[in-house]
Amino acid sequence: MRKEIHERIDQLHQEMIEIRRYLHQYPELSFQEEKTAAYIADFYENLGIPYQTKVGGNGVIATLKGGKPGKTVALRADFDALPIQDEKDVPYKSKIDGVMHACGHDGHTATLLSLAKAVQPFQDELPGTIVFLHQHAEEYAPGGAKPIIESGALDHVDAVFGTHLWATTPLGVMQTSKHAFMAGADRFEIVLQGKGGHGGYPHETKDAVVIGAELITKLQQIVSRRIDPLKTAVLTIGIFEAGNAFNIIADKAKLIGTMRHLDSSIQKQVIEEMEQIIKGVCMSNGATYTFNYLKGYPPLVNHEEEAELVRQACENIPEITSAEFVPPVMAGEDFSYYLLDKPGAFFFTGAQKEGNDIPHHHPKFDIDERALPIAAKTLFEAYLAYQNK
């Protein structure tokens, strides 16, 4: 059966590419993925595989019950896009202005749909049940994973596996971890209120730009001077807005950023340190502030046994030349919620285009589409390994 399913996945490669390129041309933002969800549902309707729609929002879940006894394993693919203008010069460039699949979710969807089509003819030979979990809204917190779990649709699932086509990892390489694999990703907003005035009379003002600059410098010292150097945290100010004229001292400034962490104790410490520093800087400058901190996705922590199963499963895939355990990356993923609820593992499928080092969330992001069948085979082998463990 394994050989036949692998061969069928290879036979479906061109269809995978066509699905991926169609979805790439018609992306939809998080929580707005109605047409994409309908496309996925229609695919399963045509296959004759039972499915549910509107799971936890726009989620779609299809279920293929095998003819042999076994466990229930969910395989997940996300399908939302990003608010980025597609700048690639390719025939499948996004047709939706200001929206593009800049993270490979179109490829994830094509992979899982094609895997379902590949295994369906072998349904009577399959052990247990495969749950094809198509998740909406991965890109924007609170995300789609949490409401899908809360809906109870996965209560009967024994384990969950997922992959991310990783555009900076070479084709043929699988990467995962037995422990923390991706970071917790939070967002914060700080609004500083000073006193504006004429650019020639700074002594009569409380300059929000200067206060903001001082605050940014001091916030960076949290990681460099207050966190245990053997621990991990990233604090980034991505937006600094203030002023509207060259000769007017701004009365207000807004700072928006992200904090990344790998354990909750560091998250707690950083939040407390931020509050103290913001309060101190504003008090010393006679300013006031508001500080809103939004806890985002928790760290993605693989289960050790399931991560090892994925690595071992790669031995059955000739196209995979290297299966590696790697240090965590500081990007976030709401697949983390599934792993808090069920055993499982998340892994990267190398999809780097030759000569192209463009990262995720970039206007010229693209993948090597030869990675699609590799991802499908690895997901299938993870399901099979879990059945046989």
Paired with 135 in beta bridges are 78
For 145, phi and psi rounded to 5 degrees? -65, -45
Within 8 A by CB and 6+ apart from 32, the residues are none
Q: Is residue 80 annotated as part of the catalytic site, yes or no?
A: yes
Integer Rg of the chain from CA: 23
DSSP conformational letter for 269:
H
Cβ atoms < 10 Å from Cβ of 204: 11
Q: Find out whether 164 is annotated in a ligand binding site.
A: yes
H or E element in which residue 344 lies? strand 344-352
Angle in degrees, CA 274, 203, 280, rounded to 5: 15
H or E element in which residue 261 lies? strand 252-261
Give the integer Cα–Cα distance in Å for 134 and 79. 7
Cβ burial, residue 15 (10 Å; 0-12/13-18/19+): middle
DSSP conformational letter for 195:
B
Given 3-state DSSP classes, what are the helix, strand and coil percentages for the chain, each rounded to the nearest 5? 35, 30, 35
What residue type is 381 in one-letter code? E
For 296-322, b where at least 16 C-beta lie within 10 A, e where not — what string?
bbbbbbbbeebbbbbbebbebbebbee
Q: Is residue 138 annotated as part of the catalytic site, yes or no?
A: yes
Q: Find out whether 361 is annotated in a ligand binding site.
A: yes
Q: Using alpha carbons, select from 265, 274, 326, 273 the residue that is nearest to residue 298.
A: 265
Q: Find out whether 381 is annotated in a ligand binding site.
A: no
Cβ atoms < 10 Å from Cβ of 150: 12
Catalytic residue among 28, 138, 207, 369: 138
Query: Does residue 295 come out as left (phi exceeding 0), alpha (psi in the -120 to 50 range) or beta?
Result: beta
Please provide the size of the chain in residues: 389
Catalytic residue among 28, 80, 86, 158: 80
Annotated binding site for Mn(2+): 103, 105, 139, 164, 361
Query: Which residues fall in the annotated binding site?
Result: 103, 105, 139, 164, 361
**Residues that are catalytic:** 80, 138
